[in-house]
Amino acid sequence: MILSLAPEWAVHYSEFWDTVKTRNHWFIRLRYIAIILLVGYILSTNLLLGFRYTNDQFISLFSSAFFLLLYNLVLEIALRKFEISDGRFNLLHFSLIQITLDLITLFVLVHYTGGYESPIRMLFIFHMIIGSLILPGRVIYSIAVLVTVGFFSTSFGEFSGIITHQVVAGYKSEPVSANFNFVLLNSIVFAAVILTSVFIANGIAAELYKLEQQLVTSLGKLNKSEAEKEKYIMAVVHELKTPLSAVLSYLSVVTGKILGEIPKPALERLERAEIRANEAIDMINDVLHVSRMRLQGQMNSTSIYFRDLIENSVDKFLDTSAAKGVELNFVNDLSEEITIEGDPFLLTLVFTNLISNAIKYTPHGGAVIVRAYRFSKEIRIEVVDSGVGIPKHDMEKIFEDFYRASNIKGKGYEGAGIGLSIVKQIVESHNGRIQLDSPSGFGNEENPGTKFTVIFPLKNF
> In the chain, what are the domain boundaries?
8-223, 232-296, 302-460
Give the SS3 label for residue 394. helix
Beta strands in 265-404 (DSSP E): 302-305, 327-332, 339-342, 367-375, 378-385
CB 458 within 8 A of CB 374: yes
CA distance 137 to 141: 6
Q: Count H helices and E strands in the chain, helices first.
A: 11, 7
CB 447 within 8 A of CB 389: yes
The strands making up 433-437's β-sheet, listed across from edge to edge, are: 327-332, 367-375, 378-385, 451-457, 433-437
User: Nearest Cα to 384, choosing from 371, 374, 393?
Assistant: 371
pLDDT (tens, 9 = 90+) of the chain, 461 residues, equals 345 666 665 566 666 777 778 888 888 888 898 899 889 888 988 888 788 888 999 999 999 999 999 999 999 998 887 765 545 677 888 888 898 999 999 899 888 888 877 877 878 887 788 787 778 878 888 888 998 898 889 888 888 888 888 887 776 656 555 556 556 656 665 676 677 667 666 666 666 666 666 766 776 676 666 666 666 666 666 566 667 777 777 677 777 777 677 777 877 787 777 777 777 777 776 666 666 665 555 566 778 888 888 888 888 888 888 888 889 998 888 877 777 778 888 888 888 888 988 888 888 888 899 998 888 888 889 999 888 888 887 777 777 766 666 666 555 455 555 677 788 888 888 888 898 888 877 767 778 888 999 998 875 44
CA distance 434 to 351: 12
| Omega cis (within 30) before 457 | no
Identify the H or E element spanning 433. strand 433-437
* pTM score: 0.47
CA distance 75 to 80: 9
CB 231 within 8 A of CB 295: yes
The CATH fold assigned to 302-460 is Heat Shock Protein 90 (3.30.565)
Q: Which residues of 320-345 are buried (b: 16+ CB within 10 A; e: fewer)?
A: ebeebebebebebebeeeeebebbbe
Amino acid at 15: E
